[in-house]
Structure 1
Amino acid sequence: MSNPDEIFLELGIGTRMRRLQEMMTADAERFYEEMGVNFRVSYFYVVYALSVRGSMPIAEIAKLAGFSHSAVSQTVKRLAGEGLIRTTAMEDGRQKCVELTEDGLHVVSRLRPIWDDIDAVIKEAMLEGGANLLAGIEALESSFVRKSMYDRVKEKQKTRAFAPPAFEIVPYDIKYNKAFYELNRRWLEAYFEVEPIDETVLSDPETHILSKGGEIFFTLIDGRPVGTVAMKIQGPGSFELTKLAVDPDVQQGGMGRALCEKVIERFQARGGKTLYLETNTKLVPAIRLYEKLNFVAMDPPEPSPYERANYYMEWMGANNDRAAAE
């Protein structure tokens, strides 16, 4: 049964392995001390490898254990100082061959029974938990041999860098009032001048949009508003898609389109007859988006209250062949 208070899960597997190692090391060294054997757990991998495979170069021990050559060399040096192993130069003179001495063989013969008992206890403990820890470790090691953890993480970072951020669309809330103003004003200042009517509507959307039956929506990333759009009522059955603005720092991932589609969805749900928008001919990318959503340019039925508005479009419905192809 998992511990609900445990915080070190997959990300903390190194910490968990060290914790387990320290538990087992403390118990194993108690046995060595009780037996009166001058042996440390840190010696185990070298001595055990030599007892199983016989004499071999330091490089081979390092390969079997998966440790660095320098780390193994340090352990070999300590074991040689204890008189448990000896090293001899190999024929090429570049490597040293390591083997157990008589004292080393004697220590192994004394420790073999306790090693067998520890081996059995570990297997029993894993069965108690219904898990095969060894198989899991082998699978993890094999995976990281095929492709290192570093390379795998770099791939994820690269993928994330090009992936659009996940966002959600939510209706207006008073806590987003400031964001509605700032997102729209930032967009306006980038392309046009802020007109008096802009300041009036943006400063009080509850009065000028919501109280008249309009709706406002926001896109959120991790709870932060980064895009907005409004649907204003302009007469019986007539609605305007307006105040579309997306933070330029996150202007990707189809956010603008999603906001427009939300307005279209609400327009249909409310049984609207006309959905229109006003824009400017210099906003070519925006016009292309509106065309993909099946807005079509028309002559405006009346002058716009905005000086910048020189292009009028109406939505032609969802069943148009062009919209379906998009």
Structure 2
Amino acid sequence: MNFFDNIGIIAIGTRLRMLSEKMTEDATKIYEMYNVDLKPKWFPVFYVLSQNGEKSITAIANEIGHSHPSVSKIVREMVKEQILCEKKDKNDGRKNNIALAPKGRQIANHIKDQYIDVQKAVEVTLNQSRHNMWHAIEEFEFLLNQKSMFHRVKEEKKLREIKKVEIVPYESKYRTSFKNLNEEWITTFFKMEEADRKALDNPKEYILDKGGEIIVALYEKEPVGVCALIKMDDPHYDFELAKMAVSPQAKGKGIGWLLGKAIIKKAQSLNAQKIYLESNTVLKPAINLYHKLGFNKVVGHSTPYERCNIQMELILN
């Protein structure tokens, strides 16, 4: 069975590379047939200079979409073959521009018939195709410029992994995980404080028995994230969103978002009107998450935590 029929579209990069190699092999033969002393990889640089005169390496790189080091290497090779030459910039003698050397200008005159024949051959081939590859490439490049294949695969990875996450109510069997997950993230950035110890050492007495809630995120049945709603004795707020922690091994799976949405839904089921939270701006991913969940910055509330330098609230409908 054909390899690509068997493996399918996941080998698109390999297939494009093989097609490119085949086209390059044919291009080498075509240059030889027309007695044109060029290598296929030189063509973009040669064409730009043959049409537009002298240019800097940076300008060439920008026009053909190559990196500066790549163009610089090609230019060196072509200068060595006396196809290109370096010239001082007319407006700035400190800069060098690249131009066609006499040999390059001869090639530019000689290659015109090759251009005509190649253009016609490509047109015929595209017209014989059910799908115009030139337009398809344009569309594919446009889509990848909007969002790279790396980021598209990253999104699919997150969507697949998120399906393995289950949000469950707290049970006593999760007590150690609740404490360890929180201690791990707190001590990574800050230090444990007295208010931390009260909640983590006695979650039932400090959180649950006072009307609060704790939820746990399981990934493949293992606890990897936790979050709590702590009942507040405050006329302005019903609950504090607190003790959200996700295992470093489970980062990037959207678990924080799932915990946040679930704990907000829990607060709504308890008829909460406002949720409060405290954090630190050094925790940029967390702050971004809270903003996405709908929290906004507030000031003036007293806090038992030394590490707190930002306070936020969520008004529920």
| TM-score normalised to structure 2 length | 0.49
Give the TM-score normalised by structure 1: 0.48
The structure having more radius of gyration, on CA atoms, is 1
